[in-house]
């Protein structure tokens, strides 16, 4: 679907005439963001919007830290939903295990020999190898992301129209409530 | 479409004015008299014809109006539409080099905003707005189809309106000292015909009135 086609479908739902479509078209990107969050939160829908492992990578430096800002800005990775996906390193067949924070990450635990671990500080991902050794090299990500229209699976087209329509019928009060939070 | 026969109109006008030469009572030339010249009659015919054509052009939806519609040269967004008579017939907006029917936006500001912020609106094609003879659009170029009338050496009114051209030409040839009843009669005839021509209007409010309400 194109942005224009989404706007046409929204206009049909809203019973709006042709000129209103331009206004709707401007909301398609916002709709995609909302849909991505909804999909990430829904365990059944999540597989629809997961980044491909081969092309979604980040490099760990010698201290075992990977800056994810490029993945966030270019690959539209949802960093706040990173834990709902899987992160892999070539040294293990199993995905990295999440720990709550850097304190937990630095403490030895009984699975150190078996599992790689990681935690997030800001947009930096810290990774530990076996037996607490710093992990280096490339990490591959299969994690929730915000798709472009071209990346959106056709099964989710209708959900996108839902989200854009939802944005249109929100009242200013809804936004006020958000900002109060 | 058949148009009024200029020669026939000229003969009829000269006959009505009794200005033919004695040798030929149905002539395209004015006879030897001091009141009219052939050129004067000819010019009056073309002027009356232009008036009839203008009536057609200015009548929205007139069935004969199509023959006067011409496309403008390609206009970039922000261009002024060339001077013309009557209402714009249609607008085509080009995406690349392919022209197709334009979509009417909600306002001039909206189109300007779309052009200024392409990252928000994405690919936006074929939208336009016309205000104060300026066209703004979101395409590469636009063509505006509008009525145009250029007087030539021949009549351009439809054949069916030939009689109105004759009446208009005779009325236009009134001179000081002439019988006012005589010329008034043709003037009335001409105005009656003009009302009938304008009565061909398919009276529809412009689509914009509805679309803007959306």
Q: B211 CB near a chain A CB, below 8 Å?
A: yes
Which of B34, B30, B54 has the alpha carbon at shortest distance from B43?
B30
> What chain B residue is nearest to A24 in terms of C-alpha separation?
B121
pLDDT tens-digit series, residues A2-14: 999 999 999 999 8
Check residue A180 and give its pLDDT. Answer: 42
Average pLDDT, chain B: 90
Query: What residues in A contact B123, CB-CB < 8 Å?
Result: 2-4
- Half-sphere exposure of A167 toward its Cβ, with a 13 Å CA cutoff? 21
* Tokens, residue B190: 């001409």
Of B152, B149, B99, B157, nearest in space to B128 by CA: B99
What pLDDT is attached to residue A20? 85
**Each residue's pLDDT tens digit, B37-78:** 999 999 999 999 999 999 999 998 898 999 999 999 999 999
**pTM for this entry:** 0.76
Say which residue, B108 or A103, is predicted with more confidence. B108
Residue with tokens 């392919």: B98
Residue B124 pLDDT > 90: no
**CA A107/CA A84 separation, integer angstroms:** 23
Check residue A94 and give its pLDDT.
Answer: 93
Check A22 against B104: CB less than 8 A apart: no
How many CB pairs lie under 8 A apart between chains A and B? 48
Q: By CA distance, what is B210's nearest residue in A?
A: A17
Q: Do A17 and B103 touch (CB under 8 A)?
A: no
At residue A71, does pLDDT exceed 60?
Answer: yes
Q: How far is A140 from A138, CA to CA, in rounded Å?
A: 7
* CA–CA min distance A17, chain B (Å): 6
Residue B208 has pLDDT above 70, yes or no: no
Q: Determine whether the interchain pair B122/A29 forms a contact, defined as Cβ–Cβ distance below 8 Å.
A: yes
What pLDDT, in 10s, does the model give residues A76-86? 999 999 999 99
Distance in angstroms (rounded) separating the CA atoms of residues B20 and A167 = 80
The pLDDT mean for chain A works out to 90
Mean pLDDT, rounded, for A135-154? 96
CB B173 within 8 A of CB B44: yes
What's the pLDDT score for residue A80? 93
pLDDT digits (tens, 9 = 90+) for B78-100: 999 999 999 999 999 999 899 99
User: Mutation test of the interface with chain A: which of B122, B136, B210, choosing the one with the most A Cβ atoms within 10 A?
Assistant: B122
> Nearest to residue A88, comparing CAs of A142, A146, A16, A164?
A142
Please tell me if residue A19 touches chain B, with a CB cutoff of 8 Å: yes
Q: Name residues whose C-beta falls within 8 Å of residue A146's C-beta, 6 or more positions apart in sequence.
A: A32, A33, A36, A49, A76, A78
Chain A, residues 24-53, CB within 8 A of chain B, namely: 25-26, 28-29
Residue B204's pLDDT is 47
Going by the DSSP 8-state scheme, the letter that residue B177 receives in this structure is T
Residue of A16, A21, A26 lying closest to B120 (CB–CB): A26
Q: Is the pLDDT of residue B210 over 60?
A: no
Is the predicted pLDDT of residue A114 greater than 60, yes or no? yes
What ipTM score was computed for the predicted complex, to two decimals? Answer: 0.70
Categorize the per-residue pLDDT at A151 as very low, low, confident or very high, splitting at 50, 70 and 90.
very high
Q: With bands split at pLDDT 50, 70 and 90, how would you rate the model's confidence at A181?
A: very low
Contact A19 B114 (CB under 8 A): no
Q: Where are the beta strands (DSSP E) in B107-176?
A: 127-131, 134-137, 141-147
């Amino acid at each position: 679907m194109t942005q224009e086609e989404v706007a046409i479908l929204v206009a049909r739902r809203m019973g709006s005439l042709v000129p209103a479509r331009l206004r709707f078209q401007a909301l398609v990107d916002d709709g995609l963001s909302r849909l991505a969050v909804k999909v990430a939160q829904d365990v059944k829908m999540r597989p629809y919007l997961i980044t491909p492992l081969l092309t979604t990578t980040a490099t760990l430096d010698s201290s075992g830290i990977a800056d994810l800002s490029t993945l966030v800005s270019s690959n539209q990775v949802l960093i706040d939903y990173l834990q709902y996906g899987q992160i892999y390193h070539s040294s293990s067949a199993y995905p990295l295990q999440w720990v709550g924070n850097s304190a937990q990450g630095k403490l030895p635990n009984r699975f150190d020999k078996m599992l790689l671990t990681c935690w997030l500080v800001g947009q930096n991902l810290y990774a530990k190898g076996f037996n607490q050794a710093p992990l280096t090299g490339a990490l591959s990500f299969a994690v929730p992301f915000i798709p472009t229209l071209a990346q959106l699976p056709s099964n989710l087209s209708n959900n996108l129209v839902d989200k854009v329509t939802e944005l249109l019928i929100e009242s200013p009060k809804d936004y006020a409530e958000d900002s109060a939070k | 479409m058949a148009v009024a026969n200029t020669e026939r109109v000229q003969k009829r006008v000269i006959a009505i004015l009794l200005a033919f030469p004695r040798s030929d009572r149905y002539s395209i030339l004015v006879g030897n008299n001091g009141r009219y010249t052939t050129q004067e009659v000819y010019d009056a015919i073309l002027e009356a014809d232009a008036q009839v054509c203008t009536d057609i052009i200015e009548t929205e939806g007139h069935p004969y109006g199509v023959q006067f519609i011409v496309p403008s040269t390609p206009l970039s967004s922000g261009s002024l539409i060339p001077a013309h008579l009557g209402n714009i017939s249609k607008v085509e907006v080009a995406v690349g080099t392919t022209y197709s029917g334009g979509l009417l936006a909600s306002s001039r500001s909206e189109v300007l905003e779309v052009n200024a912020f392409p990252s928000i609106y994405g690919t936006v094609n074929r939208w336009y707005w016309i205000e104060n003879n300026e066209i703004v659009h979101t395409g590469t170029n636009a063509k505006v189809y509008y009525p145009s009338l250029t007087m030539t050496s021949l009549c351009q009114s439809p054949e069916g309106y030939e009689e109105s051209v004759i009446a208009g030409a005779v009325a236009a040839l009134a001179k000081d000292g002439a019988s006012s009843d005589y010329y008034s009669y043709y003037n009335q005839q001409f105005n009656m015909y003009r009302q009938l021509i304008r009565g061909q209007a398919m009276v529809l409010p412009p689509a914009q009135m509805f679309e803007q309400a959306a």
